[in-house]
């Protein structure tokens, strides 16, 4: 648990936003899950191709590769392609669901996550 508090104390805004992206994605998948293997296989294929291209674009001949960065570079194309397949013809406006309940759940979860980060940062001396 201490490692989680430490992580939340040190998390920067850019990484917190990425976590909110993931929270939003997971909620949309929960509401619109499709068991069709084709969607998930295509998403894995797109992730492999685009993720490899992204890895090549950020790699340098010097230095060690960051495993978390590599994971994110493969995860993002997977999430984008499966997200777009799941919301196809569902009436979404960019990434916002036409169903207000889904949007409220997504926004609420992101606000809750950001609030937890803020609380941990404010009370870190008492938590660690």
Nearest Cα neighbor of 87 from 39, 46, 41 is: 39
Q: What pTM was estimated for this model as a whole?
A: 0.88
Count of other CB atoms within 10 angstroms of residue 83: 19
Q: What is the largest CA-CA distance in the chain?
A: 49
Domain that holds residue 76: 2-127
Cα separation, 104 vs 107, whole angstroms: 5
User: Per residue in 32-71, pLDDT tens?
Assistant: 999 999 999 999 999 999 999 999 998 776 667 788 889 9
Orientation angle between helical segments 100-122 and 2-10, nearest 10 degrees? 100
CB 71 within 8 A of CB 94: no
User: Per residue in 61-118, pLDDT tens?
Assistant: 666 778 888 999 999 999 999 999 999 999 999 999 999 999 999 999 999 999 999 9
Cα separation, 36 vs 86, whole angstroms: 10
What pLDDT band is residue 127 in, cutting at 50, 70 and 90?
Answer: low
User: How many domains are there within the chain?
Assistant: 1
Classify residue 70 by its DSSP letter.
Answer: H
- What element of type H or E holds 82? helix 67-87
Classify residue 93 by its DSSP letter.
Answer: B
What pLDDT band is residue 126 in, cutting at 50, 70 and 90?
Answer: confident
């Amino acid at each position: 648990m201490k490692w989680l508090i430490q992580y939340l104390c040190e998390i920067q805004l850019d990484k917190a936003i990425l976590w909110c992206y993931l929270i939003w994605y997971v909620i949309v998948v929960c509401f619109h899950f499709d068991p069709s293997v084709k969607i998930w296989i295509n998403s894995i294929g797109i992730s492999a191709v685009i993720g490899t291209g992204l890895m090549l674009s950020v790699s340098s001949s010097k230095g060690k590769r960051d495993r978390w960065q590599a994971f994110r570079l493969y995860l993002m194309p997977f999430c984008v392609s499966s997200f777009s397949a799941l919301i196809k013809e569902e009436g979404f406006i960019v990434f916002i669901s036409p169903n207000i309940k889904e949007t409220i759940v997504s926004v609420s979860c992101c606000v809750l996550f950001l609030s937890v980060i803020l609380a941990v940062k404010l009370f870190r001396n008492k938590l660690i």
